[in-house]
């Protein structure tokens, strides 16, 4: 996980519609950048839907929400359409941003060690600096936590 007070790593990733997003295009806005393990899993669905429900409040506060996982663009498209998600889901199949943000870590699943995305959320300010970092967040609580942090 990255520390607060540093410049957030740059990225260029496609969303569920194939449009490439870069961190630089959001200069002047706060960015809630959340990394999650997998589309259509219970925790990830709860987190995404809660961000979706609160999305108008994020935009009122001048913030954008971007979800990132290693799922494909096609998977993201189905996930976003199924739940009516109003924000971009970025596909990082090559793990570039996932590794750059320090969220690709060893996990212990049922006694077996595997590598995977640790649910983590960053708040990035208008100048691209990480101002808050939350690791191992609770999926259902994280969206409200981020809104309160704003």
User: Between the CA atoms of 56, 58, 122 and 29, what dihedral angle is there, to the nearest 10 degrees?
Assistant: 120
Residues 8, 31, 44, 68: which is the catalytic one?
A: 44
pLDDT tens per residue across span 47-94: 999 999 999 999 999 999 999 999 999 999 999 999 999 999 999 999
Structure tokens at 33: 């950048």
The DSSP code sequence of 21-55 is EEGGGGTTSEEEEEE-S-TTSHHHHHHHHHHHHHH
Q: Give this prediction's pTM.
A: 0.94
Residue 49 among the catalytic residues: no
7: DSSP letter? B
- pLDDT at position 149, please? 93
Residue 136 has pLDDT above 80, yes or no: yes
Cβ atoms within 10 Å of 62's Cβ, excluding its own: 11
Mean of the per-residue pLDDT values for the chain? 95
Segment 9-36 mean pLDDT? 97
- pLDDT at position 111, please? 83
């Amino acid at each position: 996980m990255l520390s607060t007070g540093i410049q957030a790593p740059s990225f260029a990733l496609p969303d569920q519609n194939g449009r490439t997003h870069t961190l630089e295009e959001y200069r002047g806005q706060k960015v809630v950048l959340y990394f999650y393990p997998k589309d259509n899993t219970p925790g990830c669905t709860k987190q995404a839907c809660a961000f979706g429900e609160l999305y108008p409040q994020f935009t009122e506060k001048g913030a954008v929400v971007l979800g990132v996982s290693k799922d494909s663009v096609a998977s993201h498209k189905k996930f976003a359409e199924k739940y009516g998600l109003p924000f971009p889901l970025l596909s990082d199949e090559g793990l570039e941003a996932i590794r750059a943000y320090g969220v690709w870590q060893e996990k212990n699943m049922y006694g077996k060690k595997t590598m995977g995305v640790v649910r983590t959320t960053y708040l990035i300010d208008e100048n691209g600096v990480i101002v808050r970092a939350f690791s191992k967040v609770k999926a259902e609580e994280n969206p409200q936590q981020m809104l309160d942090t704003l």
